[in-house]
Structure 1
Amino acid sequence: MTVKRLQNSYHVVGDVAHTRAFYETALGLPVKFADGERWVQFDAGANFAIAAPEEAPAGVRGAVVVFEVDALPALCERIEAAGGRILGRRDMGEHGRTVTAADPEGTVFQLFERART
């Protein structure tokens, strides 16, 4: 019932197509996965992505760190017991589910649990 790994880091951007072109051209990052104008994940040795505002927690701009976990409900309880807040939950079907949380200082992060098959 702990974090397995840093699953992803993504940056909320206003213009996904323009920002995608920048990272592909300027840094030569290959695209691993793209969901139209909503989400582009690059292979940077670790998962790095850019996301449209509608893919991010409401009002968040900049970087969001995503931790992969294997016991989402238990970790949510631990976050709240330690003074954090659960801000939202999202079921992504066959991809898994996420929880958006904030630490006691208000820093937003997410937990991701893969769908069980």
Structure 2
Amino acid sequence: MAIQKIQSVYTVVRDMDKAQAFYERALGLTLKFRDQSKWAQFGVGGSNFALSAAEEAAPGATGSVVVFEADSLEGIRERVEAAGGQFVSERDMGAHGKVLVLRDAENQIFQVFSRQAGA
């Protein structure tokens, strides 16, 4: 058995409406499916990113770190801050690219990576 891809990643949230609005506004994600206040799922490339209420998540699950890949990091920090999130740090990995460390509207850490070294 070989792992082929990330099928989905979810993060546990307290306020589904607030979290959904944040990811739509800050990253431009499009909602694929929503189950009331229990689950909201977005398609990202060939994978899925979802928001989960605590009762829908694995027992004891809290938070997550999702790494989104973008063709460029231009404007992402500003969009995240305008949507109620926070910039934490930036890491330049030379020829490998750059990654931004950010917090969403519920203070959850996530990252946005770009392969473009000069992004």
Q: Give the TM-score, by structure 1 length.
A: 0.49
Higher strand fraction (1 or 2): 1
Q: Give the TM-score, by structure 2 length.
A: 0.48
